[in-house]
A and B are shown apart, each in its own frame.
Chain A
Amino acid sequence: LQEHEVEKMFTLKPGRLPPADVKNIIFFVRPKLELMDIITDNVLREDRGRSPQRDFHILFVPRRSLLCEQWLKEQGVLGSFIHREQYSLDLIPFDGDLLSMESESAFKECYLESDQTSLYHAAKGLMTLQALYGTIPQIFGKGDCARHVANMMIRMKREFPGSQNSIFPVFDTLLLLDRNVDLLTPLATQLTYEGLIDEIYGIQNTYVKLPPEKFAPKKQGEGGKDLPTEPKKLQLNSAEELYAEIRDKNFNAVGSVLSKKAKIISAAFEERHHAKTVGEIKQFVSQLPHMQAARSSLANHTSIAELIKDITTSEDFFDNLTVEQEFMSGIDTDKVNNYIEDCIAQKHPLIKILRLVCLQSVCNSGLKQKVLDHYKREILQTYGYEHILTLNNLEKAGLLKPQTGGRNNYPTIRKTLRLWMDDVNEQNPNDISYVYSGYAPLSVRLAQLLARPGWRSIEEVLKMLPGPHFEERQQLPTGLQKKRQHGENRVTLVFFLGGVTYAEIAALRFLSQMEDGGTEYIIATTKLINGTTWIKSLMEKLEPAPF
């Protein structure tokens, strides 16, 4: 950026803009009305009494929104902007195999407000992807939104026939999955290392903020003098060797890996005593930076693992997990659960309650009217009547509903798709169910079954899940059709419409690595979610904006 003579970068916040000796100011924003208010505030304060007027520009990511412009106009600042443009950034790469649109409201928009804009963006993103990596010959999908996206892609392709490119296709298959096909998975607590970090501390754009106490530098002489008070910020991605190895493991398997690593590293450091010749010493020194990095990364992850361990060993975490697992394996899903009642009585965070109640509802294909009313009543009395709006949203999204027709489909689905595995190997997993210590994410199971033996074998179950399932083919020019060599892996792009959890990603990575799997997976989504952020996005905002 410096190269382009950008003087300073500021984060957007209300109030006066920080002083800087510049003429042009560019706002780089998502098209959201709250942000527009902030900008309005910025601009209005700026205009007052300033001799060399500044020029304002606004860049919307990914799309310029007429609604936002209308808003700015009503606030009387639209005219202040000299340029209003858009920066079409649809899919943001997060890791080697992960793309996200980072639009947290996508699920809400699609299922609550029937606003399909994010689907349009998804389709556009996929078109861009195809322009770069070749047309994807096969498209599979399940769910209404998936259908829409596929339709849009096909239409966009028809409308711009010129976009037929001559790039050899990287992806063999595209699988579009609606989040509402699998509402269950994000509600459960993720049990992979990365999943737990996200559940407990929340990973934002691959960064995590951790409490600082455990990371205080342990140097002699100044012990405990100045503990850092700022949260420690760490970047997490597969570029870090150690993290790449442990991120997708079940948390119970992380400890042993860490201690093994610790031994290897200290052994490597020990080697310097054995180095005798100059050449050996030189070689040792050349390895030092790498070893230092490995050591600090090990130290970090040991600290994180300790932090998480404190929580996972707590009684409450265990109880919560037990209830979740009972629900998912189909035990007592049709009556009022004692643990949930207790949690309400003790005023546990509302989101936790909602997660559990929704989980129960999903695992029972809806709750009995009496049970549902009981929960509703307890929640409203304890947390306030205004939450009636949130409960209503959850009902609309299908997360919380009365049982209709008196049939509970979940057991059938669970059995056919083998969603519950009793013997889980957490250390050396042999099935994707290890990511939830027993429960195999439905969405990933669908992907797995699609690769082999194909969806035809599970027609019945697919019919029970919401939305249509379909298959489309995109013709490739003959020259580009892949001649598959024996043993070569197929590459599937799985697009989760409405968000994906880290545990699901872990499960897909696990499938990619299976020796006889024959399929590699690349993952794309509208947003990385966990149960908490997901429910939060569906809750009614109760407090007015803070300014």
Chain B
Amino acid sequence: MSRVRADEEEYWHSSKFRAFTFDDEDDELSQLKESKRAVNSLRDIVDDDDDDLERVSWSGEPVGSISWSIKETTSGSTSSLDGRDSSLQKGSSSYAALPKQASSYSLSSLFKGRNKLSSFQSLSDALTDTGVKNYAPELRRPKAEYKDYSSDWSPKDTVRRMQRGKVCSLERFRSLQDKLVLLDEAVAGHDGNVITAVLIFLKRTLRREILFRELEVRQVALCHLIHFLREMGEQKFLLDLLRFLDRTEEVALSQYREHLNIQDVEKRREFLKGCIGLPFSAEDNTHIQDHYTLLERQIIIEANDRRLETAGESELFRKYPRKASILNMPLVTTLFYSCFYHYTEAEGMFSSPTNLKKTFKIPDKQFVLTALAARAKLRAWGDVDALLTTKNWLGYTKKKAPIGFHRVVEILQRNNAPVQVLQEYVRLVEDVETRLNLATKYKCHDVVIETYRDLKDRVQLTAYKCKVERGSAEEEKINSILSN
């Protein structure tokens, strides 16, 4: 709103009540004041005089000049006429009437005054000390904005103005009652920006217990405050609030979230230790416990392995230098790491895979998969074989893969296992079609041939003959089968 516009509105509205003469400044001033009083007579605004005086002196315009007033009246009349019409319609029904933005100041106060709504009586302290102080250092602002500080907006209007991005002083809402009305208005407006602004104000001016208590019955505002605190990182305040509300699980989670901001591992470990036993859900609690234990392990393993690596004694570390530290890695990665570097260690060692498996109750599937990948990467085919071999109580051995042998083959193949190794597991794939597919794909000729033989599929077998090398053992094999 431009400065001129603001003046003009006021001017025009006041003039409704009196005929004007444009003699000189002083005269007009007093008339203005008088008319204003008439308007506001139902209310009790003590500081009005100062208000007016200041305003005029700030405007710096030759207020009394005729050209000015004509210009103002003509341009102002259109906009404020709309405003008046609309608010007249509404005026009878409710105080909610907010005339058009441009003319809101005088008209709204006018009708408010007439409606004599009790809730606005308390606003008579419009110009409190704090209010004055607040605008004092802002003198360089254009007058329109300055006016916002000094005028007596209702909570509703204040919210409305803030929604439009105008600066409003909230300081004059002093009683708890006022503040809550203000908050409710803000919430009703659904504009988070305004709600947050009001909340910041309340947070600064209210005692915690009172604020918490009032927010408990105002869920929307509460959510905003929680979000605000989270964004601003006011962790302590947030925890207090959540604790007050008995939202224990949230307390726990948001406390747990904190660990992400801790860079130092030792401190992080300590912090996680503190998180154990917080009121998480039962399920989450075990996870948190595991998280702590895992980090604890990782610290031990890391210290040990770094020493080993720098000392250069271990063959393994020299051949496959570690790409990154194991700290803060997920469990499965840790398991992979331990299968890679510490596979043969006894169960008693913290870094041994079996120990990890036991401690974290890693399911068989997961364990086999990870171990397989790690051992295959090291091309330790013997270990792979051992991993998949189970002995029953009679001492017979049997190959078993909880993940299915097709997956075993996939993993081995990805690690460039030789055909001899691959073949052995392809043969164990149960589903015939998958077996054939895999065998063909990875050129495990023997398996293909045997499968076709078992299927008694001569046609396919003959066709396959051209895929094997001429004069090779495989070709011979096919021939001998075909001739049988």
- Find out whether the CB atom of B291 lies under 8 angstroms from the CB atom of A385: yes
- Find out whether the CB atom of B190 lies under 8 angstroms from the CB atom of A67: no
A392 to B254, CA, bound (A): 11
- Find out whether the CB atom of A115 lies under 8 angstroms from the CB atom of B260: no
Q: Which of B143-199 contact A (CB under 8 A)?
A: 160, 162-163, 165, 189-194, 196-197
A188, chain B: closest CB distance, angstroms: 26
B356, chain A: closest CB distance, angstroms: 11
Residues of B within 8 A of A148 (CB): 190
- Find out whether the CB atom of B260 lies under 8 angstroms from the CB atom of A386: yes
B312 CB–A CB distance under 8 Å: no
B77, chain A: closest CB distance, angstroms: 14
- Find out whether the CB atom of A380 lies under 8 angstroms from the CB atom of B287: yes
Residues of A within 8 A of B86 (CB): 161-162
- Find out whether the CB atom of B330 lies under 8 angstroms from the CB atom of A392: no
Q: Which of A170-199 contact B (CB under 8 A)?
A: none
A470 CB–B CB distance under 8 Å: no
A389, chain B: closest CB distance, angstroms: 6
Evaluate whether A389 and B330 lie within 8 angstroms (CB atoms) in the complex, with A117-B192, A345-B365 already known.
no
State which of B89, B193, B261, B360 has its C-beta within 8 Å of the C-beta of A117.
B193
Main secondary structure of the interface of A (DSSP, over half): helix
A385 to B165, CA, bound (A): 42
- Find out whether the CB atom of B284 lies under 8 angstroms from the CB atom of A388: yes
Of the listed residues B89, B98, B193, B257, the one surrounded by the most CB atoms of chain A closer than 10 A to its CB is B193
Q: Which of A373-412 contact B (CB under 8 A)?
A: 373, 376-378, 380-386, 388-389, 392
A386 to B261, CA, bound (A): 12
A347 to B335, CA, bound (A): 14
- Find out whether the CB atom of A116 lies under 8 angstroms from the CB atom of B330: no
- Find out whether the CB atom of B256 lies under 8 angstroms from the CB atom of A161: no
Q: Which of B260-317 contact A (CB under 8 A)?
A: 260-261, 283-284, 287-288, 290-291, 294
- Determine the residue in chain B with the shortest Cβ distance to A152: B190
A374 to B439, CA, bound (A): 33
- Find out whether the CB atom of B228 lies under 8 angstroms from the CB atom of A116: no
- Find out whether the CB atom of A66 lies under 8 angstroms from the CB atom of B200: yes
- Find out whether the CB atom of B220 lies under 8 angstroms from the CB atom of A116: yes
Residues of A within 8 A of B257 (CB): 389, 540
Evaluate whether A63 and B190 lie within 8 angstroms (CB atoms) in the complex, with A114-B220, A388-B284 already known.
no
- Find out whether the CB atom of A120 lies under 8 angstroms from the CB atom of B189: yes
Residues of A within 8 A of B331 (CB): 380-382, 384-385
- Determine the residue in chain A with the shortest Cβ distance to B228: A67
A381 to B190, CA, bound (A): 41
Evaluate whether A116 and B192 lie within 8 angstroms (CB atoms) in the complex, with A67-B228, A86-B165, A380-B287 already known.
yes
- Find out whether the CB atom of B89 lies under 8 angstroms from the CB atom of A161: yes
Q: Which of B236-274 contact A (CB under 8 A)?
A: 253, 256-257, 259-261
A119 to B332, CA, bound (A): 42
A159 CB–B CB distance under 8 Å: yes
B211 CB–A CB distance under 8 Å: no
Of the listed residues A120, A378, A544, the one surrounded by the most CB atoms of chain B closer than 10 A to its CB is A120
- Find out whether the CB atom of A67 lies under 8 angstroms from the CB atom of B100: no
- Find out whether the CB atom of B200 lies under 8 angstroms from the CB atom of A159: no
State which of A31, A373, A544 has its C-beta within 8 Å of the C-beta of B260.
A544
B353 CB–A CB distance under 8 Å: no
Q: Which of A214-243 contact B (CB under 8 A)?
A: none
Evaluate whether A65 and B290 lie within 8 angstroms (CB atoms) in the complex, with A342-B407, A388-B256, A542-B260 already known.
no
- Find out whether the CB atom of B196 lies under 8 angstroms from the CB atom of A67: yes
Evaluate whether A381 and B284 lie within 8 angstroms (CB atoms) in the complex, with A120-B190, A392-B253 already known.
no
B325 CB–A CB distance under 8 Å: no
A377 to B253, CA, bound (A): 17
Evaluate whether A115 and B165 lie within 8 angstroms (CB atoms) in the complex, with A161-B89, A380-B287, A382-B331 already known.
no
A127, chain B: closest CB distance, angstroms: 12
A85 to B223, CA, bound (A): 27
Residues of B within 8 A of A388 (CB): 253, 256, 284, 287-288
Evaluate whether A63 and B165 lie within 8 angstroms (CB atoms) in the complex, with A115-B192, A117-B191, A120-B189 already known.
yes
- Find out whether the CB atom of A113 lies under 8 angstroms from the CB atom of B82: no
- Find out whether the CB atom of A381 lies under 8 angstroms from the CB atom of B196: no
- Determine the residue in chain A with the shortest Cβ distance to B194: A66
B231, chain A: closest CB distance, angstroms: 6
- Find out whether the CB atom of A160 lies under 8 angstroms from the CB atom of B100: yes
- Find out whether the CB atom of B200 lies under 8 angstroms from the CB atom of A70: yes
- Find out whether the CB atom of A385 lies under 8 angstroms from the CB atom of B287: yes
Evaluate whether A381 and B193 lie within 8 angstroms (CB atoms) in the complex, with A345-B366, A389-B257 already known.
no
A108, chain B: closest CB distance, angstroms: 10
Per the CB 8 Å criterion, the residue count for chain B at the interface is 56
A348, chain B: closest CB distance, angstroms: 13
Residues of B within 8 A of A345 (CB): 365-366, 369, 403
B362 CB–A CB distance under 8 Å: yes
A392 to B362, CA, bound (A): 22
- Find out whether the CB atom of B193 lies under 8 angstroms from the CB atom of A65: yes
- Determine the residue in chain B with the shortest Cβ distance to A387: B330
B173, chain A: closest CB distance, angstroms: 16
- Find out whether the CB atom of B196 lies under 8 angstroms from the CB atom of A385: no
- Find out whether the CB atom of B100 lies under 8 angstroms from the CB atom of A162: yes
B53 CB–A CB distance under 8 Å: no
- Find out whether the CB atom of A114 lies under 8 angstroms from the CB atom of B190: no
B245, chain A: closest CB distance, angstroms: 14
A33 CB–B CB distance under 8 Å: yes
B91 CB–A CB distance under 8 Å: no
Residues of B within 8 A of A160 (CB): 98, 100-101
A82 to B255, CA, bound (A): 39
A209 CB–B CB distance under 8 Å: no
Evaluate whether A67 and B193 lie within 8 angstroms (CB atoms) in the complex, with A33-B231, A385-B288 already known.
yes
A204, chain B: closest CB distance, angstroms: 25
A301 CB–B CB distance under 8 Å: no
- Find out whether the CB atom of A66 lies under 8 angstroms from the CB atom of B220: no
Residues of A within 8 A of B330 (CB): 380-385
State which of A86, A385, A389 has its C-beta within 8 Å of the C-beta of B290.
A385
- Find out whether the CB atom of A381 lies under 8 angstroms from the CB atom of B98: no
Q: Which of B76-134 contact A (CB under 8 A)?
A: 82-83, 86, 89-90, 96, 98, 100-101
Of the listed residues B82, B219, B331, B407, the one surrounded by the most CB atoms of chain A closer than 10 A to its CB is B331
Evaluate whether A116 and B190 lie within 8 angstroms (CB atoms) in the complex, with A66-B200, A540-B257 already known.
yes
B224 CB–A CB distance under 8 Å: yes
B82, chain A: closest CB distance, angstroms: 5
- Find out whether the CB atom of B223 lies under 8 angstroms from the CB atom of A381: no
Of the listed residues A115, A158, A341, A389, the one surrounded by the most CB atoms of chain B closer than 10 A to its CB is A115
- Determine the residue in chain A with the shortest Cβ distance to B331: A381
- Find out whether the CB atom of A159 lies under 8 angstroms from the CB atom of B98: yes
Residues of B within 8 A of A54 (CB): none
B3 CB–A CB distance under 8 Å: no
B411, chain A: closest CB distance, angstroms: 9
A113 to B257, CA, bound (A): 16
B380 CB–A CB distance under 8 Å: no
A64 CB–B CB distance under 8 Å: yes
B227 CB–A CB distance under 8 Å: yes
- Find out whether the CB atom of B192 lies under 8 angstroms from the CB atom of A381: no
- Find out whether the CB atom of A385 lies under 8 angstroms from the CB atom of B294: yes
Residues of A within 8 A of B165 (CB): 63-64, 85-86
- Find out whether the CB atom of B82 lies under 8 angstroms from the CB atom of A162: yes
- Find out whether the CB atom of A382 lies under 8 angstroms from the CB atom of B98: no
Residues of A within 8 A of B219 (CB): 114
B329 CB–A CB distance under 8 Å: yes
Residues of B within 8 A of A33 (CB): 231
A536, chain B: closest CB distance, angstroms: 17
Task: List 12 A-B residue pairs with CB atoms under 8 Å apart, sorted by A's residue number.
Answer: A31-B193, A64-B193, A67-B196, A114-B224, A120-B191, A159-B98, A162-B83, A342-B407, A380-B290, A384-B330, A392-B253, A540-B257
Apart from A380-B331, A386-B259, what 18 extra A-B contacts exist at CB < 8 Å?
Answer: A67-B196, A113-B226, A113-B227, A114-B219, A114-B223, A114-B224, A117-B191, A161-B86, A162-B100, A342-B407, A345-B369, A345-B403, A381-B331, A385-B287, A385-B294, A385-B330, A386-B291, A388-B288
Nearest 8 pairs between A and B by C-beta?
A: A117-B192, A114-B223, A385-B291, A384-B330, A66-B197, A381-B331, A161-B86, A382-B332
